[in-house]
């Protein structure tokens, strides 16, 4: 029998399921130090953890370890790279905590709207302050949901019973999938300007860090309430500190830079603060434990690999093509517009890449949505797109075109009802280096997508390149390489430039306004 070590306070259902299967013996101990426990059970085949840190030191104490399951979604406490080097699969249980977080959002909104926390304290003190605690109702209010993944969609479902108007922002989800949960998609400024309640459900990354900053906050509807049960870094605390009182905003908060005791920098801003209770329900603990056990059994005896987050690429696939697929996806997404609503992803893989079409979907999806883990397998990628209501098509290819070793990627977005926009890119490897061969109608580019890159798509006319060059020079930015093709049929030109440093967004916006470009962005490739 295979030994499974559970060094954490986890619902006993995991132990029960594993032992009843007849395949495993389970040691569950949440009171002993992990190092001591690992040393005492060096023959463990698998380990199920929650927030415990699985470091190289811990892994080295378990020479027979083959699987680590995180009973929860995040796995930043596990050294996945070292685990892969040791041949250890790391899995997680995404979605097990989603309902718990969604219900917490509703609970916080209701508690704040009816002043339940201070009213309880006042009444316990013998006071009777009905006038002081006059509240407000959710019915008839507008609720904006930023991020419509598992949690965001559940928030929409749970709160729709209060007869609210639901607005949503998510650059990935399709309009049809949003409509299923009665959400109208809109842009961020509109959502902040019209919503009485704004609930955040997006990951923290380079694009979202500080996203709720002074510009958005200054456009927020006066008296609005912001609920953050996502990640602390999404909100620019200093900007909120400057704007909060003037806009009469409220903040309900459950997330912090670190989950630990001690003073919290956001304490002066938050009207309700909770110690990251989002996933802290008996049901969520049960669901995560059950999922962890079931996934381990499915991996070992059914070959289900969908939840492995540190997968190796299949033998025979050059990792350079994975990087190419990811880079083309990021580039295509930026040209299309990172906030545009995706409808379809179409791919073509030529020559020896055709057998790996499914596997190459993983870096493509990760390029479109940066927080999709590239260690997941292709079924997880397809499941994610299906959840978002996005069609994924792998096209039959014409081998006579001579595109061997090339990847073509098309992204289609929905601008409004009945109006679609498509961006197409093709790339390949030349002497081991990535090359973008085509962007839309602009062929034979042979541009190396590496480093700081700026791109402008505009109606052709004399002097535009001079305007771009002068604006960059004024900021001390040097152009290291450039392609500037023109298409006579459309009278459009493309300027794609490699520069020596990041170009500030305000500089990009100023150049774009000056040359009237239809697409303008900076990306680090």
92, 73 Cβ separation under 8 angstroms: yes
Quick one: which of 307, 391, 297, 399 has its CA closest to 353? Answer: 399
Paired tokens of 515:
């040359």
Q: Give the pLDDT of residue 250.
A: 97
Classify strands 225-228 and 184-185 as parallel, antiparallel or unpaired.
unpaired
Q: Give the pLDDT of residue 421.
A: 87
Asked whether residue 45 falls in the same domain as residue 157, the answer is: no
Per residue in 472-520, pLDDT (tens digit) is: 999 999 999 999 999 988 999 999 999 999 999 899 999 999 999 988 9
Q: Cβ neighbours of residue 131 under 8 Å, at least 6 residues apart?
A: none
Strand arrangement of the beta sheet that strand 89-92 belongs to: 24-28, 2-6, 46-49, 67-70, 89-92
Asked whether residue 155 falls in the same domain as residue 212, the answer is: yes
pLDDT band with cut points at 50, 70 and 90 for residue 112 = very high
pLDDT at 123 over 80: yes
Asked whether residue 323 falls in the same domain as residue 399, the answer is: yes
Q: Give the pLDDT of residue 399.
A: 83
The CATH number linked to 431 is: 3.30.70.260
Question: What residues pair up with 292 in beta bridges, in sequence order?
Answer: none
Q: Cβ neighbours of residue 244 under 8 Å, at least 6 residues apart?
A: 217, 251, 269
> Is 449 a domain residue?
yes
d(CA 221, CA 379): 41
Q: Give the pLDDT of residue 300.
A: 95
User: How does DSSP classify residue 402?
Assistant: -
Paired tokens of 329:
């996806």
pLDDT band with cut points at 50, 70 and 90 for residue 369 = confident
d(CA 346, CA 350): 14
> Is 314 a domain residue?
no
Residue 99, CA distances (Å) to 14, 153, 225, 278 in order: 20, 10, 21, 9
d(CA 513, CA 471): 12
Paired tokens of 110:
């209701």
Q: Which residue has the tokens 């700081």?
A: 452
H-only helix segments in 303-342? 319-336
Asked whether residue 83 falls in the same domain as residue 166, the answer is: no
Asked whether residue 269 falls in the same domain as residue 190, the answer is: yes
Mean per-residue pLDDT, 382-398:
91
Q: Give the pLDDT of residue 417.
A: 63
> Is 172 a domain residue?
yes
pLDDT band with cut points at 50, 70 and 90 for residue 172 = confident
d(CA 506, CA 246): 25
> Is 308 a domain residue?
no
What is the average pLDDT score of the chain?
A: 93
Per residue in 55-79, pLDDT (tens digit) is: 999 999 999 999 999 998 888 889 9
Supply angle C-alpha 34, 40, 42, rounded to 5: 95
> Is 230 a domain residue?
yes
Q: Give the pLDDT of residue 216.
A: 95
151, 178 Cβ separation under 8 angstroms: no
pLDDT band with cut points at 50, 70 and 90 for residue 206 = confident
H-only helix segments in 248-281? none
Asked whether residue 70 falls in the same domain as residue 211, the answer is: no
Asked whether residue 489 falls in the same domain as residue 501, the answer is: yes
Asked whether residue 298 falls in the same domain as residue 323, the answer is: no
Domain count, the chain: 3
Q: Give the pLDDT of residue 314.
A: 83
Q: Which residue has the tokens 């400024």?
A: 189
> Is 312 a domain residue?
no
d(CA 286, CA 179): 31
d(CA 511, CA 5): 58
Q: Which residue has the tokens 């977005």?
A: 413
Instruction: Please give the helix or strand (H or E) that residue 293 lies within, else none.
Output: helix 282-302
d(CA 281, CA 71): 13
Asked whether residue 386 falls in the same domain as residue 406, the answer is: yes
Q: What is the DSSP string of 447-482?
A: B---SEEEEEEEE--TTHHHHHHHHHHHTTPPEEEE
Mean per-residue pLDDT, 361-371:
89
Q: Cβ neighbours of residue 238 under 8 Å, at least 6 residues apart?
A: none
Q: Give the pLDDT of residue 223.
A: 96
For 340, the domain range is: 319-524
Q: SS in 3 state form for 198-252?
A: EEECCCCCCCCCCCECHHHHHHCCCCCEEEECCCHHHECHHHHHHHHHHHCCEEE
The CATH number linked to 49 is: 3.40.50.720
Q: Which residue has the tokens 């609503």?
A: 341
**Angle between helix 282-302 and helix 13-21 axes, rounded to 10 deg:** 20
* Backbone angles phi and psi of 2, in degrees to 5: -90, 135
pLDDT band with cut points at 50, 70 and 90 for residue 174 = confident
475, 503 Cβ separation under 8 angstroms: yes
Paired tokens of 221:
């509807």
Q: Give the pLDDT of residue 161.
A: 93
pLDDT at 122 over 90: yes
Supply angle C-alpha 40, 41, 46, rounded to 5: 155
Asked whether residue 179 falls in the same domain as residue 64, the answer is: no
pLDDT band with cut points at 50, 70 and 90 for residue 409 = very high
Asked whether residue 48 falls in the same domain as residue 116, the answer is: no
pLDDT at 418 over 70: no
Quick one: which of 110, 101, 187 has its CA closest to 144? Answer: 187
* Backbone angles phi and psi of 146, in degrees to 5: -95, 105
pLDDT at 137 over 80: yes
d(CA 349, CA 427): 10
User: Is 0.85 surpassed by the pTM of this model?
Assistant: no
d(CA 316, CA 355): 10
Paired tokens of 327:
């880079």
Mean per-residue pLDDT, 150-169:
95
Asked whether residue 222 falls in the same domain as residue 294, the answer is: no
> Is 77 a domain residue?
yes
d(CA 202, CA 400): 44
> Is 310 a domain residue?
no
Q: Give the pLDDT of residue 416.
A: 67
Strand arrangement of the beta sheet that strand 250-253 belongs to: 184-185, 165-169, 142-146, 197-200, 225-228, 250-253, 272-273
Q: Give the pLDDT of residue 233.
A: 94
């Amino acid at each position: 029998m295979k030994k499974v070590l559970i060094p954490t306070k986890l619902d006993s259902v995991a132990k029960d399921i594993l032992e009843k299967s007849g395949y495993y013996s389970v040691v569950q101990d949440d009171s002993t130090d992990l190092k001591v426990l690992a040393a005492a059970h060096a023959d463990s085949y698998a380990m199920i953890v929650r927030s415990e840190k699985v470091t190289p030191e811990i892994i080295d104490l378990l020479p027979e370890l083959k699987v680590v399951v995180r009973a929860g979604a995040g796995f930043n406490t596990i050294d996945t790279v070292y685990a892969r080097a040791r041949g250890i699969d790391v899995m997680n249980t995404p979605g097990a905590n989603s309902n718990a977080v969604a219900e917490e959002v509703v609970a916080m909104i209701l508690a704040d709207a009816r002043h339940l926390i201070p009213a309880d304290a006042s009444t316990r003190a013998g006071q009777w302050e009905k006038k002081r605690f006059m509240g407000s109702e959710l019915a008839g209010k507008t609720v904006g949901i930023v991020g419509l993944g598992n949690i965001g969609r559940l928030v929409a479902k749970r709160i729709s019973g209060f007869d609210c108007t639901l607005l949503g922002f998510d650059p990935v989800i399709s309009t049809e999938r949003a409509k299923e949960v009665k959400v109208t998609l809109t842009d961020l400024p509109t959502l902040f300007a019209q919503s009485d309640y704004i609930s955040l459900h997006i990951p923290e990354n380079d694009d979202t860090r500080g996203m709720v900053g002074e510009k958005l906050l200054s456009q927020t509807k006066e008296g609005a309430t912001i609920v953050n049960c996502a990640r602390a870094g999404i909100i620019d605390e200093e900007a909120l500190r400057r704007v909060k009182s003037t806009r009469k905003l409220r903040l309900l908060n459950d997330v912090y830079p670190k989950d630990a005791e001690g003073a919290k920098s956001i304490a002066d801003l938050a009207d309700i603060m909770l110690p990251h209770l989002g996933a802290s329900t008996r049901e969520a603990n049960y669901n995560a434990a059950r999922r962890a056990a079931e996934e381990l059994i499915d991996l070992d005896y059914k070959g289900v690999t969908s939840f492995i987050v540190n997968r190796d690429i299949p033998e025979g696939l050059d990792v350079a093509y994975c990087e190419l697929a990811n880079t083309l996806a990021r580039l295509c997404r930026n040209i299309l517009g990172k906030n545009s609503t995706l409808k379809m992803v179409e791919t073509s893989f030529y020559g020896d890449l055709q057998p790996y079409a499914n596997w190459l979907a993983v870096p493509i999806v990760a390029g479109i949505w940066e927080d999709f883990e590239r260690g997941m397998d292709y079924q997880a990628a397809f499941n994610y797109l299906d959840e978002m209501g996005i069609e994924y098509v792998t096209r039959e290819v014409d081998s006579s075109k001579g595109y061997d070793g090339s990847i073509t990627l098309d992204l289609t977005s929905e601008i409004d009802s009945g109006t679609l926009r498509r961006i197409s890119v093709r790339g390949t490897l030349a002497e081991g280096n990535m090359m973008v061969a085509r962007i839309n109608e602009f062929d034979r580019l042979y541009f190396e997508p590496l480093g700081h890159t700026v791109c402008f798509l505009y109606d052709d006319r004399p002097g535009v390149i001079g305007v771009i060059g002068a604006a960059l020079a004024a900021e001390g930015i040097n152009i290291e390489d450039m392609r500037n093709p023109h298409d006579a049929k459309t009278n459009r030109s493309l300027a794609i430039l490699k520069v020596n440093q990041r170009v500030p967004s305000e500089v990009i916006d100023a150049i774009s306004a000056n040359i009237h470009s239809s697409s303008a962005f900076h990306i680090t490739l």
